[in-house]
Chains A and B, each alone.
Chain A
């Protein structure tokens, strides 16, 4: 098969599942699930085939889709080292999550809808990854947002889930508004191609940036700056960066495998991917790259702070995703071509692993609360414990684990003159990461070590767990356990694939090599020990108080638990500012627009009655009318 056929198969196969679901296959859940898994496997095979057979010079196949005299839109695929590597991550994790969902969603009555929307997501996400034209990227980007909305609100009978879905949709839309304006501006300033039309083919954009064709002044700023900042809005929304981040923790209302796939490994990484894709455009303006770096480093620390105190396992992971996404953006905005992306790949592995383990824990404990999980399940689920250990160690940055290897490359990139402030913020973020990762693992796995413990519950808990695992059915459990163990093994090796990844991107393997003797590694390990040690003292050691050191500072702890009061800020904005605007708009709407629309509608309605009244039923009347109109037309003709 040729590359373009593989591309069509990869993007099209999951879409077929969704369309067939809509066309009525959805009434047969088993068939839908089977279709969904088959197409997921096909898409995954496609991503591998494209990555392996990618020619040295890359590959592009497009077909013009809509064209006017001024611009044209293309559909197609553009295969580069970057896009095929990202596609590999998406395709593989999607397949894994589908497999895992076989177990996780086994008893859900709306299983068919779940798998179908998951397939829609895969198709749209792969289209984002492989798109050759930014308009195609944008279309798929919005479809990804739609499937995110549908999946967060999957349990739509829960008001909180419906609310969270709405919030995610609207907040990301804010960012997409900027993205769209940015695309429009970019389109207007692209050099004109042969035939007089402009387009947004990514290859041409990168060429234009390289040739400095986009240079120019816009509102008193360099064009690169204005366009870059607008595009950055979309990235901030999708990748949940400050100030558009608070939808992501709420998005945990969706099923856990969805959180694993969309809200940690792939969808939220789409923003980072877009940054990597257009990196030269962003780096062309020092203002844009500094703003990106500033937002990212602030978000990294801020989100890690919330993760340190949040009691809910999935929310801790969500805040951690926000913080880790910031690390990726920092690497990219600091100018490294591989650092941020390498971290995206390893993060996709270990965060997905953490979520899938969390899914098992939550299934067994019937609660997402860390203490509750520790009390009811603890280390009794071996697969989940393994996943949690490997994932948490990787997240915390234990040397040689995946997360350490890739984060070290980012830190090394930042550890150079000009970036000192950002570097220290990143180190602080690393220490905080180590704290919350250790805390999470310790609270769950060392529940019997607590001083003021719940020993008396243990016997009862054991029964509960036994009961649950009987109730769950062996097959569903073992599918989930096997997926987690498999992913854990992959994650262990992922950190050492840096040179291969760099090679695939067409870069020097030196870029990801770690200088073990350097001060940077020493500082990183110090941060790990400081954060991890503190958490161990608070939660892990035998006889620990199991309360964070922050409980000594209630004001700060309350603020962190509330997510820096960001939701309150947004509520204030929406209540005071937007509501004020809305009221005045409402006034105009009621007084001016409604009235005139009502007038038009009434006019149309009475016009309709009048028009229909021509239909008298009398033939002589019809014929006279026809001839009269003809006669009037001819008289007008003569008179003209």
Chain B
């Protein structure tokens, strides 16, 4: 195989998987036939759905392997519109792993009709493909197209859930909000293009550093806004709580985890390619502090676990943004480490959400789907399923930054890198924020471990799969927490290679 294909290997694999899923989603099994009895049609659809689930799982695993195989590739593609380097390849592995685990979690998703399950898998793959392209795009146009591929798949996924209900409202707001921020980003890009006379990001970077005007900073901030929307940091987060709460658990898991890693990576790459000016330092820092303070405070007031995770995500995005604001390679590496840890912790939390969702009668009186999950519903989780309680404990303690989880070591790297840059006050505010955050994480843990189960709550039978997922991801979180040097040097190398080029 020639070098070009090797460089594009993970994306090609993902594209192939999406094609296969596409045929399952619209294929011969799906068409309606008036003469066929409803019962046999239902069985046929379920068969197709299960086939789609399994194909996606195997395909996700293959893509993960392909991404690992392609990690040492480097070089430009497509006439310089696309660039493959260690940083992009490492992020692709993380994204592929995130997709794989998301597919794993979404196996036989209960909140979706069987007909829609192949579509869920299809758009999960497509969205990941968009993110993979996002971290390799070297051109404003390819960057924007990749951003929209990632976003549009999600616009379709969010309303994809049984019956009708408020998720449609949330999905529509999500779409409109996304379209508006896209417009803002495009506006910023057009100014960048006007300033540099080129749409190639490296050339824009050279032009900007030669002439760092206020207009350039404005344009940059507007462009980054398009990505802030995906990362859901304040004030671009308004869609998040409603979407998290009302969309199906599997989609929420993807938006909360993998999608955010993609956003962080895209931001990082823009900064690493030199698209950064010193004025960004305090702009990003201010946004980060606002985001974490706002997210943590708002999370305090939540009664719904998924909404709480959404606001906690706003705050966690703030920590990551703080690392980016330090404009320093150690802080960049720490931020990517933290994003990876965050992905793993989100997987654990949403594992609990999804497994718990199976046992709840998620249908309202009017036939619409209820995808919310009140914190009270976690009561007595420990006695109902020790496995899920364990997953929840590792996940929440990790988010709270308690050792020996990767959440702790990630915060440690992050805060240390910022301190080394002289950001004492930033770290102080972040520390205070973390203290507030511990409270609401512990409230959830208290519900799971201390509060007795509600009357009539039965034991939750967890099958082998969620147990295996708890074990593998939980163990990964703890091992990374104790021995972060397993991946930290790779991340540092990837980041410095980007700065050097």
Contacts and interface: CB of A to CB of B under 8 A. Distances in A.
Contacts of A617: 242
Contacts of B279: 637, 640
Given A605-B301, A608-B298, A615-B238, A623 B222 contact: no
Interface string B226-238: 0000000011101
Given A608-B298, A612-B302, A638-B214, A633 B241 contact: no
A622 B238 contact: yes
A619 B177 contact: yes
Contacts of B236: 626
B303 to A, nearest CB: 10
A65 B483 contact: yes
Contacts of B242: 615, 617
A611 B297 CA distance: 7
A610 B180 CA distance: 26
A633 B221 contact: yes
A532 B23 CA distance: 94
A136 to B, nearest CB: 12
B173 interface: yes
B181 interface: yes
B322 to A, nearest CB: 16
Contact of A611 (B181, B301, B485): B301
Given A65-B483, A633-B286, A637-B279, A625 B235 contact: yes
A604 B241 contact: no
B299 interface: yes
Contacts, number: 75
Contacts of B302: 612
A452 interface: no
B301 A612 contact: yes
Given A604-B436, A633-B287, A611 B294 contact: yes
A69 B330 CA distance: 13
A630 B238 contact: no
Nearest to B282: A640
Interface in A614-640: 614-615, 617, 619, 622-623, 625-630, 633-634, 637-638, 640
Contacts of A609: 301
Given A626-B235, A633-B283, A637-B283, A607 B297 contact: yes
A24 interface: yes
B6 interface: no
Contacts of B234: 629
Contacts of A64: 485
Nearest to A621: B238
Contacts of A605: 300-301
B interface bracket (residues with beta carbon within 8 Å of A)? 35 or more
A460 interface: no
A634 B221 contact: yes
Contact of B298 (A612, A622, A626, A629): A612
A470 interface: no
B217 A637 contact: yes
Interface string B266-291: 00000000000001000100110000
B238 A625 contact: yes
A622 B294 contact: no
B218 A608 contact: no
Contact of B218 (A604, A625, A634): A634
Nearest to B390: A23
B176 A619 contact: yes
B235 A611 contact: no
B297 A608 contact: yes
Given A24-B386, A615-B241, A630 B221 contact: yes
Contacts of B180: 623, 626
B441 to A, nearest CB: 14
A68 interface: yes
B409 to A, nearest CB: 9
B443 to A, nearest CB: 12
Contacts of A612: 298, 301-302
B471 to A, nearest CB: 8
Nearest to A616: B238
B257 interface: no
Interface in A538-554: none
Nearest to B214: A638
A640 B286 CA distance: 14
Interface in A143-168: none
Contacts of A638: 214
B225 interface: yes
Given A608-B297, A608-B298, A611-B294, A622 B177 contact: yes
B209 to A, nearest CB: 17
A65 B217 CA distance: 41
A167 B218 CA distance: 64
B54 interface: no
Contacts of B115: none
Contacts of A640: 279
B393 to A, nearest CB: 11
A24 B382 CA distance: 13
Contacts of B416: 68
A463 B474 CA distance: 56
Given A633-B286, A638-B214, A608 B301 contact: yes
Contacts of B386: 24
Interface in A455-503: none
Interface in B181-200: 181, 184
A69 B176 CA distance: 48
Nearest to B467: A24
B235 A604 contact: no
Nearest to B240: A615
Interface string A347-380: 0000000000000000000000000000000000
Which of A68, A612, A617, A634 counts the most chain B CB atoms within 10 A?
A: A612
A64 B386 CA distance: 35
Contact of B235 (A65, A69, A629): A629
Interface in A303-333: none
A65 B404 CA distance: 12
A626 B181 contact: yes
Contacts of B299: 608
A628 B177 CA distance: 15
Contacts of A615: 238, 241-242, 298
A627 B188 CA distance: 13
A460 to B, nearest CB: 48
B283 A604 contact: no
Contacts of A619: 173, 176-177
10 contacts: A68-B416, A605-B301, A608-B299, A611-B298, A611-B301, A615-B238, A622-B173, A623-B177, A630-B235, A637-B217
Interface of A: 23-24, 64-65, 68-69, 604-605, 607-612, 614-615, 617, 619, 622-623, 625-630, 633-634, 637-638, 640
Q: 5 closest pairs, A vs B, by CB?
A: A608-B300, A622-B238, A608-B301, A611-B298, A629-B235
